[in-house]
Amino acid sequence: MASWKKYRLGELITLTNGSAIRKRDIQSQGAIPVFGANGRLGFTSKFNVENRTISIGRVGSCGAINSIEGPAWMSDNVMFVKSKSEKIDWDFLFYVFLVQDFTEDIRKGAMPSLSQKPILCKQVAVPPLDEQRRIVARIKECMERVEEIEGLRAEAIEESDALVQSVLHDTWRSDEIASAEKMALDELGQITTGNTPSRKKPEFFGGSQPWVTPGDFNGRLIATGRECLSKKGIAEGRARVVPEGSVLVVCIGATIGKVALAVRDLGINQQINAVTFDKEKVLPEYGYWACRALVPEIIGNASKNTLPILNKGKFSKLQIPVPSLYIQGQVSSKLDAVEVAVSEMRRDLSESNIASTALRESILRKAFAGEL
């Protein structure tokens, strides 16, 4: 790195703050993109930057870096870069900004902010132009490989989502399930539609009884929610609490068809129908999978309004196959094992996404240490 020279960024670039734009001037479609600190906000008909630039978040998301192809409108939440030196390649300059740490330069407050001065005073090491271009090409090559890995990982996650559904579909077509007698849900247990105690009485909430909404569904089992009911909420607010082992099914809204098995007594809101199966007829674990198999019917029978709804009456009459309890146990154990395996695989894939972020950072660190 003997040929690398140090410069203040102010010797290589100028910074200009963006300009305010009225909300009504930002459209969902158009020719000129509008950029804020977190990226594109929408489109407009005018621009304040004609050529390629780099934006730096200066209010709110301070230090966020984006490469922008002009023409574009830079909002007043960002500042943008213009090169004033032929000593630095534009792509190399972008990577220079990506490795900068502006943490100590951000003014704290209700709305964090970052000014131009500490940025322009930062010292950066710059190699000769030929070396800059070689480093840029190498960084891009490495980043493309990371993107390929991320693409394969995303495909694997999508396939894992479909795997459980595929095994469930095949299981429901097997002789032991397909030949079983079908019965309506309300013949097999109690159907309960949830509700929400009055929000005008805050004393109905904040107790120890978990109360769940569709947003709390996250996997096969559900044990708690983001809110809890008080004893008053249950007694005076007439909140509906279903027992452990109930199968909860979302029957209203964008997430209609979500299913979860309650592992403790839970309060439920009005978007949820719960089936508390008679355990002499249906095992709760099997009931969960039977309701999962009903999802296409649940969605298909829902009203086609802006907000899809399957009312309690229609839901109660949906039918599921009811084999012997022994077969139910075998089927649910097999499907549980598949879902556990898939969940572990998804967790591993998600953790490797975190590793990808670290890998990108490592590539940039090595590039600017002359090791790439």
The reply to whether 9 and 44 lie within a common domain is yes
Q: What is the pLDDT of residues 235-289, one digit of tens each?
A: 999 999 999 999 999 999 999 999 999 999 999 999 999 999 999 999 999 999 9
Per-residue pLDDT tens digits for 285-301: 999 999 999 999 999 99
In a domain, 310, yes or no: yes
CA distances from 38 to 3, 67, 70, 112 (A): 36, 12, 17, 14
The CATH number linked to 44 is 3.90.220.20
| Helix pair 325-368, 90-98: axis angle to 10 deg | 120
Calpha distance 274→246 (Å, rounded): 6
Question: What token pair was written down for 58?
Answer: 């200066």
Residues 199 and 257 reside in one and the same domain: yes
Residue span of the structural domain in which 34 resides: 5-126
The answer on 359 and 245 residing in a single domain is: no
Instruction: List pLDDT tens digits, range 104-162.
Output: 998 988 788 999 999 999 999 999 999 999 999 999 999 999 888 888 888 877 787 78
Number of domain units in the chain = 3
HEC string for 122-172: CEEEECCHHHHHHHHHHHHHHHHHHHHHHHHHHHHHHHHHHHHHHHHHHHH
Q: What is the pTM of this model?
A: 0.63
Identify whether residues 328 and 317 lie together within a single domain.
no
